[in-house]
Amino acid sequence: MTHMTEQTPVTTQTAKAVPTLPDAQTVTEVKHYTDRLFSFRVTRPASLRFRSGEFVMIGLMGDPDPKTGKQKPLLRAYSIASPSWDEELEFYSIKVQDGPLTSKLQHIKPGDDLILRPKPVGTLVHDALLPGKRLWFFATGTGFAPFASLLREPQTYEDYDEIIITHTCREVGELTYGRDLIAGLQTDELLNEVIGDGFWKKIKYYPTTTREESPKMGRITDLMRSGEAFTDLGVPVLSPETDRAMICGNLAFNLELKEMLEGYGLVEGANSNPQHYVVEKAFLD
């Protein structure tokens, strides 16, 4: 018979360290917006340097292989939504109910670990654009994530007189993360001190919805074609002399907008060849 107080001897097996995740970072905060969207913050590896707008691979360990029992990391590309100076990293995520990663990732809680490969890359960076007067950020859905980083990046306001952010989503609730973030800039003491009091007045925010009633309905592409977006914003049509743009949305959106910008005379740039606009997919499809 074993008494409750009796100590079990520590065997080599029980003493063995629990294997930790490779490149593990700890979740510090999770916020849910809709049944399809959430954001979370994680610790930042001390050695990680990145440019605002870049993405990294993050994930969890996959299910054990039925034959070998071995687990492999299940990783996906994610834009870093926090700016390069932030001591933590923020991500803004979809929840795909049968998605290999996000069916699990949507259940993470503060204190949990996830895998973060510290190799940032991407084209939505200031270095890929020539100097200009007005910077446009065009997003659909979670394509807002890189702009959440760039909207908190001092260089954005140092380099441009005006920043226009358009965000097209199906439903009103899908705008919440972006809307709250932009509203929060007004009262962000650190940013107002570092960039300059009232820096946020350079931002023109243009949220639109396509499948639920909101003050501004329609795809941004259609609103630009009709001229309505330019009238609403009080700015002229984009021109290569003054305007620079970054695009992040679904593939069809990216292609359509790319064609429109080319029509205005803008040329696509890259890290190695800065030009007038850059594009990145918000997800693969």
Ligand X SMILES: Cc1cc2nc3c(=O)[nH]c(=O)nc-3n(C[C@H](O)[C@H](O)[C@H](O)COP(=O)(O)OP(=O)(O)OC[C@H]3O[C@@H](n4cnc5c(N)ncnc54)[C@H](O)[C@@H]3O)c2cc1C
Q: Which residues bind ligand NAP (CB under 6 A)?
A: 36, 140-141, 168-171, 210-211, 219, 221, 250, 252-253, 256
- Nearer to ligand NAP by Cβ, of 193 and 259: the residue is 259
Which of the listed partners (ligand NAP, ligand X, none) does 93 bind, with a CB threshold of 5 to 8 Å by partner kind?
A: ligand X
Whether 57 contacts 76, CB under 8 Å: yes
Q: Does 141 bind ligand X (CB under 6 A)?
A: yes
- Nearer to ligand X by Cβ, of 55 and 277: the residue is 55
Q: How far is the CB of 190 from ligand X (least distance, A)?
A: 24
- Nearer to ligand NAP by Cβ, of 36 and 44: the residue is 36
Q: How far is the CB of 167 from ligand X (least distance, A)?
A: 13
- Nearer to ligand X by Cβ, of 79 and 134: the residue is 79
Question: What is the rounded distance in angstroms from the CA atom of residue 153 to the CA atom of residue 162?
Answer: 14
Applying CB under 6 A, what is the total number of residues that bind ligand X? 23
Q: Does 55 bind ligand X (CB under 6 A)?
A: yes
Q: Does 174 bind ligand X (CB under 6 A)?
A: no
- Nearer to ligand NAP by Cβ, of 197 and 262: the residue is 262
Q: Does 167 bind ligand X (CB under 6 A)?
A: no
Binding site for ligand X (CB under 6 A): 55, 76-79, 92-94, 96, 99-103, 141-142, 145, 280-285
